[in-house]
Amino acid sequence: MNQTKHRPPVDYIERTKDQYSALGYPPYAWVHSDTPPPFSPLRKPLSESKCALVASGGIYAQGQVAFHFKDDLSVRLIDRDTPNTALRTTHFAYDLTASRQDPGCVFPLRTLCELERVSLIGEVSANAYTFMGGIYSSRRVREILAPAIADRLQQDEVDVAVMVPV
């Protein structure tokens, strides 16, 4: 009989609590809202939409500055034609083994490009947008990081953002 402890399939909250505790941070205060954001239907079919990838896995391209750990609010733009072999990951809140072997597991840019190739989406934006999740200050995310990414998406005339949390 297998005596191993069974973990839930998504144990992000417990792992985050443990990670922050090990780093000496105060307990992580999860953000809760009583009102969901308003629903925004697509204005045109997905097959005609420009899609962008936004990922919080600490992905950056070879030659770019790596993310640092504590409350890094910076964003990296990754050119859509960047090969997986030129992608790097750094993050304190998840095991990087898989992402360093195959960045596509946290940064599915090649998959989006394939969806464009088969016409399921209109096009992939010229850039993907990455940052390092695990930012302790929800206020700084709300007031600084999120607006910066939203501004970039608008500048690049993106219709749909595929959000990949880690």
Q: What is the mean pLDDT of each run of 10 residues along the chain (166 residues)?
A: 56 72 74 84 95 96 89 94 94 86 94 97 97 86 94 96 91
Number of domains in the chain: 1
Say if residue 80 is exposed, middle or buried (CB neighbours under 10 Å; 0-12, 13-18, 19+).
middle
pLDDT at 1: 46
Considering the domain boundaries, does residue 16 fall inside one?
A: no
Examine residue 41 and state whether it is found in any structural domain, yes or no.
no
Residue 30 is assigned to a structural domain of this protein: no
pTM: 0.83
Predicted pLDDT of residue 6: 61
Determine, yes or no, domain membership for 33: no
**Domain assignment of residue 22, yes or no:** no
Long-range contacts of 65-73 (CB under 8 A, 24+ apart): 66/90, 67/91, 67/131, 67/132, 69/132, 70/136, 71/135, 71/136, 71/137, 71/140, 72/131, 72/132, 72/135, 73/131, 73/135, 73/140, 73/141, 73/144, 73/145, 73/148
Give SS3 for 159.
coil
- 148: in domain: yes
List the domain range (segments joined by +) for residue 65.
46-164
Instruction: Assess if residue 24 is contained within a domain.
Output: no
Q: Report how far residue 67's alpha carbon sits from residue 16's, in angstroms, rounded to the nearest whole number.
A: 18
Residue 152 resides in a domain: yes
